[in-house]
Structure 1
């Protein structure tokens, strides 16, 4: 989930513990899934460091009736190992909830019970360590080992059964402890994306990630504006709309999208989350990948169709009850500027279809503007060992490795620009963890599906021939 991003000094604290085969930094669902899949492997020594004292998955958006947008099969392990003791179904069985979940007849778990499931798994794994914020990562090749005899001795205590013996990454925590690992898996997650104009304006604007802790203060305002087009924006709007009769605020929802569109969830579209499409996407040039990600927003940044309908039905009920809310929904609108005068925001807006510039004054401002990956500062001492693009982003290969050697540092959910929109998709987490474990161990511990899609991506080999009129023969 998180890890400290501060950086200081050089490795000075004595190394503690053995040299691990793998050190995971951060514990969101993806690294947690990797920890679960690594758990039964006797020949793999892995440890996972999490900055916080306990696991909490998007606590600021833990609305009571919010559900996942993926089925329960997209848990931590099932798509890699349906027999794993760390499956969601086993969690339900162990906590006495399996039959109630069965009677409910929905493939989509509540967000709150998924959070409980992740916490159950994290607390049951011996490889997970909480309260360990990472402040620095170095490599022994860059250190004077004569100045660190304890570190040198630790490196030569045994041979690495998977190669790369005699060298390791030195992971230093805030307490001064050093954890040694021959490989790293970065799972520090993404950070909330805040619009530059709003950040520069200052004031009490909040990101959707912090919605619930600030909800009561927000509802004391006379006007509230939500900016965003995805599921989080819709959930916050529905929540505030439902409670609007008990408050006196005007509610506005602005989105850049041309409409409040539902997430596309048809079966052939779902094949774009397949290994084949991910491999195809990696082979495209960077410009084409960027264009496709913009065009595919409705596949992963839309709103569930059920929620779109619920919002419409809620408007109707409130109108029938005579409690018609003071609310405005505006699509195709871009926020171009913001100023805070101590009492309210003055927002500069532009309607992208009419070209009209207009303004809005609002006391409360919620940015449901998504998240973005970044390379944490604690990696600065080893940046020269990493493959980064011209924008400073990870260049992940087909096995999710981002180091120059292609076998030492792996990333979870930091490769959207290279692998496509499946990077944050919970349904592909187990597959990515299986690929990383295969790269680390040198074998497919969990079989990696080679083809699952009906359709072909790119030109199929049997259709590769010159077009008619260019000398082709039939």
Structure 2
């Protein structure tokens, strides 16, 4: 029986492992991870791609700058600190940050079972001594874990437009599987690749494809007119401050909707200037050289998709003129983002792993899953005896853009979860409890 079971060992739960080691080392904790080893975004380790957050907003620094698990200390221990400080760029390469994440995962003294694909989270029978119901985590490999609480951090589900759901891999592949989807093609491949989307990832994929397959034809299909610059104003970037989490959390549902509409360009359907400029320059240079490798199809809706052994055909409708056309491609890369928790649009009401215990979770038909400020899922009337259940990294709808797959608040979110776990799972010592009662009585006597 563990104190805490943690599903997933990506950045969110790696940060939690560091917080547990530094704030509650006595806790009995087990992490269960489906991958065979720690890795972050392995399918998007593209040459020249960088991260989009300040490197000091890492797994621990905002909570404990003196920790040995900071990105700066990682650079120091690798002997690359001064070279990194001398780099002519604002953000670290994604490859280097992935190595930092892997280094922390391998350095922190966490008890991790790799290669275990969690298939279900259930509630076990009540403990005869305490009456509490432990949580049970089951894996496809046949293992079964019991815990007094669970922290679920499986990462967000890729969003696949419905028209692509029947297209097999690798004919259609989400960016989360990009490199495996093109691994079988050689450098001289001269087919057609369609890239769907207008995000940072879409441009990164296009730039990579032009380098990887110089003879290929790349067609970028997007629902807007063209690429938009990401809003990186320092005033807008304050959405990644802990104060904004409190402000957003306490807003009404209508207030949250208005904030999301206002702040969407800080993270969605937009890209940084460096990659936009690089793509524009590449297309311009291709024109000078008398070739056209990259074509943009803006303001297009994809109304139908057909596939066979020859490839994939997209039915496109121009949103302004209404003109219809078809696009034949050998493969399609979907830079279409990820699902969030919620009840509308691309959202999913529950993380798939929590569906078996949905009856003990509080779900609002309009707002979706009810999650506390400490990231604990609130219980329904039927779940009064359920153990504490936490969501780590999927709470953008309730907590704001800091939960939108960003590193910015990982460290502080981990502290909130650990503090909450300790309060709920650690009974006060009798002497401490008696002292608290005496103190409370003394305070009351002075009023």
Into which bin does the TM-score normalised by the smaller protein fall? 0.7 to 0.9
Partners of 1:68 and 1:293 in 2: CA distance: 22
Counterpart of 1:64 in structure 2 is 47
State whether residues 22 and 185 of structure 1, in contact with CA within 8 Å, keep that contact through their aligned partners in structure 2. yes
Partners of 1:175 and 1:346 in 2: CA distance: 39
Counterpart of 1:230 in structure 2 is 199
The offset of 1:295, in angstroms, is 4.9
Partners of 1:349 and 1:242 in 2: CA distance: 27
State whether residues 135 and 387 of structure 2, in contact with CA within 8 Å, keep that contact through their aligned partners in structure 1. no
Counterpart of 1:6 in structure 2 is none
Determine which of 28, 34, 48 is the counterpart of 2:16. Answer: 34
Change over 3 Å in CA distance of 1:378–1:417 after alignment to 2: closer
Partners of 1:291 and 1:258 in 2: CA distance: 24
Change over 3 Å in CA distance of 1:139–1:238 after alignment to 2: same
Counterpart of 1:463 in structure 2 is none
State whether residues 264 and 299 of structure 1, in contact with CA within 8 Å, keep that contact through their aligned partners in structure 2. yes
Change over 3 Å in CA distance of 1:69–1:378 after alignment to 2: closer
Counterpart of 1:411 in structure 2 is 391
State whether residues 218 and 224 of structure 1, in contact with CA within 8 Å, keep that contact through their aligned partners in structure 2. no
Partners of 2:41 and 2:368 in 1: CA distance: 24
Partners of 1:401 and 1:323 in 2: CA distance: 58
What are structure 2's unaligned runs of at least 5 residues? 341-347, 425-447
Deviations 1:164-202 (A, max 9, x none): 885422223344443332221111101221111111355
Determine which of 135, 150, 175 is the counterpart of 1:169. Answer: 135
Counterpart of 2:6 in structure 1 is 24
Partners of 1:200 and 1:175 in 2: CA distance: 28
The offset of 1:103, in angstroms, is 1.9
State whether residues 218 and 364 of structure 1, in contact with CA within 8 Å, keep that contact through their aligned partners in structure 2. no
393-402 or 80-89: which moved more?
A: 393-402
1:345 maps to 2:312: yes
Counterpart of 2:175 in structure 1 is 208
Deviations 1:413-458 (A, max 9, x none): 2112222222122101112112112212239xxxxxxxxxxxxxxx
Change over 3 Å in CA distance of 1:177–1:298 after alignment to 2: same
Change over 3 Å in CA distance of 1:287–1:356 after alignment to 2: farther
State whether residues 210 and 293 of structure 2, in contact with CA within 8 Å, keep that contact through their aligned partners in structure 1. no
Counterpart of 2:298 in structure 1 is 331
The offset of 1:20, in angstroms, is 2.6
Change over 3 Å in CA distance of 1:124–1:231 after alignment to 2: same
50-59 or 102-111: which moved more?
A: 102-111
Partners of 2:368 and 2:309 in 1: CA distance: 37
Change over 3 Å in CA distance of 1:357–1:420 after alignment to 2: farther
Secondary structure of the 2:235 match is helix
What are structure 1's unaligned runs of at least 5 residues? 1-18, 146-151, 157-163, 444-474
State whether residues 253 and 367 of structure 2, in contact with CA within 8 Å, keep that contact through their aligned partners in structure 1. no
Determine which of 61, 64, 83 is the counterpart of 1:78. Answer: 61
The offset of 1:99, in angstroms, is 1.9
Q: TM-score, normalised by structure 1?
A: 0.78
Counterpart of 2:32 in structure 1 is 49
Task: Write out aligned runs for 1:118-133 (5 A).
Answer: 118-129=101-112, 130-133=114-117
Question: How many correspondences in the alignment?
Answer: 404
Task: Write out aligned runs for 1:209-288 (5 A).
Answer: 209-217=176-184, 220=189, 222-243=191-212, 246-247=214-215, 249-286=216-253
Secondary structure of the 1:39 match is helix
Q: TM-score, normalised by structure 2?
A: 0.82
Partners of 1:363 and 1:392 in 2: CA distance: 40
